[in-house]
Structures are given as structure tokens and as C-alpha cells.
Amino acid sequence: WIGMNFPIDHLPEVLDTPSFVYSRRMLGERAQQALACQTPFGLTVRYAIKANSHPEIIRLFDELGLQFDASSSYEAALLLEQGVSGPTISLSSQQPAHNLDELLQAGVRYVATSLHQLELFAASPHHPNTVGLRLNPGMGSGHNNRTMTGGVNSSFGLWHAYTEQAVELARRHDITIDRLHIHIGSGADPRLWGEAIDAALALVGRLPEVTILDIGGGFKVHRFGDEQEADLAAICEVFSRKLSQFAEETGRQLHLEIEPGTWLVAYAGVLVAKVVDIVDTGADGHTFLRLDTGMNDVTRPGMYGAQHEMMVLVGREEQREYIVVGHCCETGDILTPAPNNPENLASRRLARAEIGDKLVIFDAGAYCQSMSLKQYNAYPDAGTYFID
């Protein structure tokens, strides 16, 4: 479990809780590892900033040479404001861009995710003559229904059966679809990634002018228990094999793009909170450890039954079983739900805690601060610190 390498010995001595603390070193190491991956006709690593759009993380990754994936026109605008150059940004959004002309003028690479979005692109006076197209290939591999982004139950991307309609529409406007984008969810199994790229290549076959394939993100990390860690290098080997084979068969040499979010940042952040109360529900009940944080800062457990490792910083020998809960006035504000099942509770064995102790929630670099709830119970935003 890579997250255990987080330098908790170097947490700032004075630190308000709750606060997110990020390790620049760990962010840099993951970025370098991703950049070291290779595919036969070139690889672009785009950081999906939805995972964490903190300006320092954007700056660090920009300096290291990562490119970016924006999931809304607001994310794209945020990247431009941070000084990221337009052509290194790819925009693939569910909502049509509020600032389409501006983004196109800045050179942002646009991915249409529906026929309507393709029409809007064609109607902009600033559109280049090439565009990306996101397709739903009809399969998905999320770890649960809420993270599955392909298949009939997912609204993301143009349904594959309408591919020719998109080609025709683009052609009418003298636009070439040169980039195919698919993102089908999260996974660790290289074989599943092999199937994903097979599905993508079958679609490339129907898009004769595509030269770039963006296979999306969803490279899973091991946060807890028997979760599987995606070996990015091994997955890229599978990609490479498939791309070489495709090139032999068709003569088409595709440049590959990947869009990891979680994989790049999850381990590099922790949330430091404080135990503010300890209550129980009697002999047949539970002991609840209440923190000064909760679903407003970390929504993942309540949404997906996601698991995050936790540690009471004062490491007492004695251990206890606790249900760790947040401070929101909401029964579902449970930080230790049953795995993948937010309906149920699962107790954690932790060092015996006392009110006032600090508790660290690990692997909080991805989709915690960026997915925080605004305004609920008027709790203020958590603090942010960066350490080396």
C-alpha cells in the first residue's frame, strides 16, 4: 500500500483541523512514473484535474510536462487562468461549454460528447478543422454502478451506434474527427484494459481519420484491504501490443493518450482531523468516533462505500473498534461504511482514541477536496498545506 509512505512525520507542527496536507515529493514521483510509460507511437499523459484542481498541483504537473484533461468548461478556464497553455488542455464535458469561443481561441482541444456538442463546435467561428469525439463503446468497468461510465446505463459520450452520424455531421462542416475519446470507468486488471482498447480500436476502425486515441482514466489504486492496484507500466505494455498489432493490420499508427486522475494524486494527500466526541449506543451498539470533518470534506465513503485507511496520531498500544463518523447532521455521514455499501456500517480497529486526538485519513489526494460539499451545516472549508 503506497499511501503508507505518506510522510506523516513531517506534518506541519501547527495545523488547524480539518486540513488537507499534500506531499510534493509523492505528487512528483507519480507524475514521473506515468511519464516514463511508453507506447509505440507516442503517449500523452493528461492529468484529469477533477481529481484535485489545487493550483499548486496544476503548477507542479505543468512544470513536469503533464498535459491536462478538463471535465467542464470551468475547469478548462481555471487551467488557462493558471497559465497552462491551451493546446495542452483537452476538454470533454457533459455540459456544453459556457465559454466555447474563448476556449477555442486559446487553442483548447475540444472533444464533442454528443451530436449537439458537435453542432455547437461547428457553429463557433473560432473552431479549428479538427475535433475529438467521445463515444460510449457499450461496455464499462467501474468498481460500482456509480463509477461506471460506459454501457447502456451511462449517459456519457455519444452512443457508439451513432458514430457514422457524427462523421457525416463533421464532414458537412469540413471538420475532421481526428481524436477518439473513450472513458469506461475504473479498473486495475490489465486484461480489462486490453478489452477496453479492443473496443476502442474497433471504433477507430469506423473513424477513418482518427490519429489519436484517448483511452480515458480510471486506473485504480489500492487504498484498502484487497483492493487491486493498477500497474500502469504493465497496462501500457498491453496497450502497446494492441496498438502495434492494429498498426500492422491497418497501417494506422495511433498516438495514445491516458487521463489518470486518482492514480496521480490519491496517495499524495491526507486529511488531518480531530476527534471531537466519542459516543456509544450501549452494550449491543457501537462506539462512534466523531471527527471535526465528515462528508462535507470526504464524500466518497458516503457515496460509494469507499474505504480510506485511518490512523489515530497518538499511537496508543491499546486498540478499539470504532465506527468513525463525521460532524454533519446526517445519519449517512459515516466515514467507515461497509466496503462498496454505504447503507451499512463497518467498524475499524484503531488505536484507542481520546477527545482532542488527531486522526489521519489517508489517500485523500483524489476526489476529496475537489468533491467537497459546499455550505452544508455552514462548516468552513478545510485548510490546505503542502509539504515536501
Give yes or no for residue 218 binding ligand LLP (CB under 6 A): yes
Q: Which of residues 269-328 bind ligand LLP (CB under 6 A)?
A: 300
Among the residue ranges 36-44, 192-200, 212-220, 275-283, the one whose residues contact ligand LLP (CB under 6 A) = 212-220
Torsion of CA 245, 247, 250, 255, to 10 degrees: 130
**Shortest CB 219 distance to ligand LLP, Å:** 5
**Shortest CB 183 distance to ligand LLP, Å:** 4
Among 260, 294, 337, 342, binds ligand LLP (CB under 6 A): 260
Peptide bond into 260 cis (omega under 30): no
Cβ atoms within 10 Å, residue 152: 10
Helix 232-250 to helix 190-204 angle, to the nearest 10 degrees? 30
Q: What are the residues facing 279 on neighbouring strands?
A: 288
Q: 17 CB contacts (<8 Å, ≥6 apart)?
A: 272, 273, 274, 292, 293, 358, 383
Q: Which of residues 134-163 bind ligand LLP (CB under 6 A)?
A: 147, 149
Choose between 19 and 141: whose C-beta lies nearer to ligand LLP: 141
Give yes or no for residue 61 binding ligand LLP (CB under 6 A): no
**Shortest CB 245 distance to ligand LLP, Å:** 25
Choose between 115 and 371: whose C-beta lies nearer to ligand LLP: 371
Q: Is 175 exposed, middle or buried (0-12, 13-18, 19+ CB in 10 A)?
A: buried
User: Is the Cα torsion angle 206, 212, 217, 218 positive or negative in sign?
Assistant: positive
| Separation of CA 261 from chain center | 3
Among the residue ranges 25-33, 258-266, 331-339, 350-358, the one whose residues contact ligand LLP (CB under 6 A) = 258-266
By rule CB under 6 A, what count of residues binds ligand LLP? 22
Question: Would you say 255 and 288 are in contact if contact means Cβ atoms under 8 Å apart?
Answer: no
What's the CA gap between 32 and 19, in Å, rounded? 26
Choose between 11 and 67: whose C-beta lies nearer to ligand LLP: 67
Among the residue ranges 101-109, 195-203, 254-262, 319-327, the one whose residues contact ligand LLP (CB under 6 A) = 254-262
What's the CA gap between 367 and 270, in Å, rounded? 12
Give yes or no for residue 68 binding ligand LLP (CB under 6 A): no
Give yes or no for residue 262 binding ligand LLP (CB under 6 A): yes
Q: Which of residues 106-125 bind ligand LLP (CB under 6 A)?
A: none
Give yes or no for residue 259 binding ligand LLP (CB under 6 A): yes
Q: Which of residues 328-387 bind ligand LLP (CB under 6 A)?
A: 366-367, 371
Question: Would you say 106 and 64 are in contact if contact means Cβ atoms under 8 Å apart?
Answer: no
Among the residue ranges 15-23, 216-224, 279-287, 326-334, the one whose residues contact ligand LLP (CB under 6 A) = 216-224
Give yes or no for residue 132 binding ligand LLP (CB under 6 A): no
Quick note: the x/- pattern for ligand LLP over 161-200, rule CB under 6 A, is ----------------------x--x--------------
- Write down how long the chain is: 388
Based on its alpha-carbon atoms, the radius of gyration of the chain, rounded to whole angstroms, reads 22
Choose between 48 and 350: whose C-beta lies nearer to ligand LLP: 48
Please, what is the Cα angle at 386 between 381 and 388, to 5 degrees?
165
Question: Would you say 19 and 384 are in contact if contact means Cβ atoms under 8 Å apart?
Answer: yes
Choose between 61 and 322: whose C-beta lies nearer to ligand LLP: 61
Among 263, 267, 288, 322, binds ligand LLP (CB under 6 A): 263
Q: Which of residues 72-101 bind ligand LLP (CB under 6 A)?
A: 92
**Shortest CB 368 distance to ligand LLP, Å:** 8
Cell numbers describing residue 68: 491536462
Amino acid at 118: L
Among 261, 269, 294, 342, binds ligand LLP (CB under 6 A): 261
Q: Where do the H-state alpha helices sit in 275-326?
A: 300-304
Q: Which residue do the cell numbers 446526517 mark? A: 330
Give the binding site for ligand LLP (CB under 6 A): 48, 51, 69, 71, 92, 147, 149, 183, 186, 216-219, 259-263, 300, 366-367, 371
